[in-house]
Chains A and B, each alone.
Chain A
Amino acid sequence: MTIEVDGKNIEVPGDTNLLEALKAVGIETPHICYHPYLPVSGNCRQCLVELEGPRGKSLVISCYTPVTPGMKVSTPKSSARVKNARAAVSEFMLLNHPLDCPICDKAGECSLQENYVEAGRSESRLFPEVGKQYHGNPDNQFVDTKGQIRGGKRVDIGPRVVLDEERCVQCDRCVRFMRHVAGDEQLQLASRGDRTYITTFPGKKLDHEYDLCVTDLCPTGALTGKFFRFQQRVWMLSRTPSISMDDSLGANIWIEHNNGFIWRLMPRCNPEVNRSWLSNTSRLAFENFSKNRLPAGNLPELKKAVMGEGEIAFVLGGASTNEDAAALKTLTSKLGDRAQVFVGSFAKMETADGIAKSGDPVANRAGFALFGFTASVEDLVKKASEFTTLVVLHADLWGEDASKANALEVIKNRISISAFNDATAEKSAVVFGVNHWSEVSGSMVNSNSMLQKLSAAPTAPDAELSPLFKVLFALAGEDVKCAACAFKKAHEMVPILSKFSFDSIHSTGEKLDGVAV
């Protein structure tokens, strides 16, 4: 629909709020408390615009104003009133906010810093006598070396999150997240006026599977995750877009790395998949990505072990990509009737939480189905005695459930091709190390039949390691160099994929029509 912005008619998307509509046409409105996936609270007052109404022009918050055809909006570009109002709000916002950016973990990705550049005033009007006054929870206050009363700087509000009461700007994003998204109200704003502070309920801690999301939501450094505190400056981090391969929803993530190490995984916004959320399990999984890794093995030795006599059972683990599946398909067709493929893990299937997890630990189950790999490891247990060789790919069957996996010990020749030196590797005669999913490019299909792309972060502990698909293709006698080439190979096996080239897969995924999951 058409609206008038600063005297010019502009076509904006309808059915949304003014803030989003302006954003869609490239007009950024500074905001603190507004978040697209949380109910509007309208308390920061930073996103003010001027709107012409029946009683003249008035200031309104753009996050709570629906777009209506023909509405007349003024931004700071044409209205000094809006500019001054935003500058005033910006000043008020920083009034009781400490200027400890040099030691603040949020510096570099802080809404206050970003907004102040655009909407703030350049000159400070704060003086030591009348300026900052820190309040927060009276129980956490202390007197610093200069004799000033300070708010709690490291309040332990839960097992994973730390609160800095001075830095809080009372936007109540975290409160709304816990109430409306997590569905478990654990945070609350207590007291009133400038004494307002965030707190948990008496005697309770912030403890929820999604509690680290509040550290992403927090526009300031008030809520920080213990795992990331003081680890890295955010501007030193490079980010690689990828998919979390521990759950079949395939939450979109940024892999943030520096110097060859992953420092954190952050949710990557995808409205169709995980929105802006990421579970703690997925987020904290990176801590083990570089630990206990297998070295690259000897390929001729591996080939000898895999291609030996008798029937071969391949177990394809959930973190394998479509490219890995295509390589396996190539290999098994070479082996003919001797080879059978079983999919999955012994990990417990859980129910979807409706936020960012489907509960299925086999991330690429839908992708495997496209290649015709549907038999499960449970089926393998039933007929384990038929096989002489077991090749486990990217799965830790013994680590997940040893009581079930022990039934597979009847297969004498056991091989593990995996990233980790895990319980399964211990049970295997031949082990071969490959790249972890965070270090490979590839694609996967999630539980909602979205084709999603993983990109390789440069964090492999050993340059000798190669992706699983390369190893499998090599076993089949083919030399496939890149994920895009492997994806091309998959075109012939799965016609629906031939609509896409690897590079054309959108960063937020492609819906595969007509695929039943």
Chain B
Amino acid sequence: MQDSMKVCTGNFGKNAQSMEAYKKLGGYSTISSKLFEMSQFEVIDYVQRSGLRGRGGAGFPTGLKWSFVPRNSGKPVYIVVNADEGEAGTYKDHFLILEDPHRLIEGLIIAAWALGARTAYIYARGEFLPCIEALNKALNEAYAAHLLGENIGGTKFSFDIFVHRGAGAYICGEETALINSLEGQKGQPRLKPPFPAVAGAWACPTCVNNVETIMSLPWIFSHPVSEYTKMGTPKARGTKVFCVSGDVVRPGLYEAPLGTPLMEMLTSEEYAQGVVGNLKGVIPGGSSCPPLTSCESETATLDYECMAALKTMFGSGAIIVFNDSHNAVDILSVLGHFYSHESCGQCTPCREGTGFAKRVLDEIMRGEGHDGDIELLQGISAGFAGTTICPLSLSLGMPINSYTAKYRGDFEAYIAKNPDHAEPRLRSTVRPGAFW
């Protein structure tokens, strides 16, 4: 791939952590009078024309999201960068910040100009200590160079960035839970409306963007918009950073245009260089996404629309590959443990249901499954659909449905390990001798 195609990862491996090095590589070129001569609307319009979509998972058009932020509310506008990367299989933000912290700062200055924001918070996952150190170092350099603080570049524009360390909760990646956590409250998703764009952090208009989204901005603004729209598909422009892990020859972080065929990502020399063993399935966008079977993987392309058509999600671009040495029950059981541990405990279906599903999966794993357990799991999952504030319950519900449908044989084989699997389970209420 050409160097120019690397929107976010262009500086990887070039020791760009210091300001000096970053500037030498062309950094901060967008923070000039050219940007400050553009009006807020022109900046937002530019982003809209670029077709940039949010890289956190939902893929919402970034320019459109920014246009929802009210201008004349009389309240400050906050930008919050979601660096609470917790989805199993996703590790892009970690390396993006670690390798190139100044690009995030540059992107934030552009976003702040577009939104009229005075303050931005980078909500970083607590475990990202090296990232936070790199980021703080970069922030100090940027303040020293008057790229942050009062009157940036001699204009009237002032802007501050603060780094906030999360305390370790997957749910704080959900934007309203993140805002609650940022405010010092328990990290639980809020009821919507109001949406954060209207009343987010401290009830002020707040724009929550993913690290990768913000880090795409410097490249987009330093190139003609057509350069960016040239890449990707008509509905999903540009490039995406993919985190490939699992049974591949060279797992790692690869930036590729949207619409790249999945098999090219898995087998091409530039990328993962091939699957180890016989491909059984691919999780295309992080642990909460339904997997693609090897057959579906053949035709899949890496963009939002194709994944939606295959009834899965593009998500955060975390591609997890597993071969036939792995069992779907094992994988789903890991997910059950993860999501029941990470449920915030607010909504009843998620709080109780994820634990219920986990316990059923544990039973099957122990070789004590019964006929009908698959239907029981699917029944639990049916109770998640549309009944909760945030989609965390569905993050387990969708895999339950898809794994049991696509790899039903694995589940049946596990259940068959129980010699009494055909016997009905004994109800606790009619257990003989329990009470009399």
Contact = CB atoms under 8 A, between A and B. Distances in A.
Interface in A88-110: 88-89, 91-93, 95-96, 99
A43 B347 CA distance: 4
A32 to B, nearest CB: 8
A48 interface: yes
A120 B427 CA distance: 18
A131 interface: yes
Nearest to B361: A130
B101 to A, nearest CB: 31
Interface stretch (B257-265, B313-321, B352-360): B352-360
**Interface core residue of B340, B349, B426 (most chain A CB under 10 Å):** B349
B388 interface: yes
B334 interface: no
Interface in A127-165: 127-133, 146
Interface stretch (A190-198, A207-215, A342-350): A190-198
B348 A44 contact: yes
B388 A45 contact: yes
Contact of A42 (B341, B343, B389, B427): B389
B428 to A, nearest CB: 4
Which of B348, B363, B426 has the most A CB atoms < 10 Å from its CB? B348
Interface in B91-107: none
Given A85-B386, A127-B427, A193 B344 contact: yes
A192 B344 contact: yes
Contacts of A46: 348
Contacts of A48: 387
A476 B386 CA distance: 72
B345 A193 contact: yes
Given A44-B348, A189-B186, A194-B352, A89 B340 contact: no
Nearest to A94: B352
Contacts of B427: 124, 126-128
A244 B197 CA distance: 48
A58 interface: yes
B58 interface: no
Contacts of B376: 125
Contacts of A194: 340, 343, 345, 351-352, 354-355
Contact of A130 (B344, B356, B383, B386): B356
Contacts of B343: 192-194
Nearest to B192: A64
A170 B351 contact: yes
Count chain B CB atoms within 10 A of each CB in A133, A189, A191, A192 and give the residue with the most.
A192
Contacts of B156: none
Interface in B418-436: 425-429, 431, 434
Interface string B282-294: 0000000000000
A84 interface: yes
Interface centre among B169, B186, B346, B386 (most CB of A within 10 A): B346
Nearest to A48: B387
Contacts of A58: 386
Contacts of B354: 193-194
Contacts of B360: 130
Interface string B351-381: 1111110011011000010000000100100
B410 interface: no
Interface in A13-62: 32, 40, 42-46, 48, 58-59
Nearest to A85: B387
Contacts of A92: 348-349, 351-353, 356, 383
A99 B342 contact: no
Contacts of B426: 127-128
A218 interface: no
B169 to A, nearest CB: 7
Contacts of A132: 428
Interface string B169-205: 1010000000000000010000100000000000000
Contact of A89 (B342, B362, B387, B425): B387
B142 interface: no
A169 interface: yes
B387 to A, nearest CB: 5
Given A84-B382, A127-B425, A45 B387 contact: yes
B429 A99 contact: yes
Given A48-B387, A93-B352, A95-B355, 19 more contacts: A32-B348, A40-B191, A45-B349, A46-B348, A85-B385, A85-B386, A88-B387, A92-B348, A92-B349, A93-B348, A99-B429, A128-B428, A128-B431, A189-B345, A192-B171, A192-B342, A193-B341, A193-B342, A194-B340
The 8 closest A-B pairs by CB, nearest first: A88-B383, A196-B345, A59-B386, A193-B343, A92-B352, A194-B355, A127-B425, A95-B352
Interface of A: 32, 40, 42-46, 48, 58-59, 64, 84-85, 88-89, 91-93, 95-96, 99, 124-133, 146, 169-170, 189, 191-196
